[in-house]
Amino acid sequence: MPRLVQTLENKMDQSKWPVTFSLGMVTFNEAPGRVDKALMLADETMYLAKRSGKNRAAMRTFQ
């Protein structure tokens, strides 16, 4: 994940756009039964990143 964040930051720096981003990434030891469940967990993780400050990334792994 750090490489992904660095790549996005570099692209924004090159474009001179005043942009920050919050990223929520989830991984699963077993695929969840429903796609909407995976998206809900990723969304929750993104808001976890946002609550910890601007321009943050958070990652969680689920069993």
Examine the pLDDT at 28 and tell me if it is beyond 90: yes
Domains of the chain: which residue ranges? 2-62
How large a percentage of the chain has pLDDT more than 90? Answer: 48
Examine the pLDDT at 1 and tell me if it is beyond 80: no
Q: How far apart are the first and last CA of the chain?
A: 19
- When the pLDDT of each residue in the chain is averaged and rounded to a whole number, the result is 88
Indicate the pTM of the whole model: 0.70
Better-predicted residue by pLDDT, 46 or 11: 46
Q: How many helices (H) and strands (E) does the chain have?
A: 2, 2
Examine the pLDDT at 17 and tell me if it is beyond 80: no
The Cα diameter of the chain in Å comes to 41
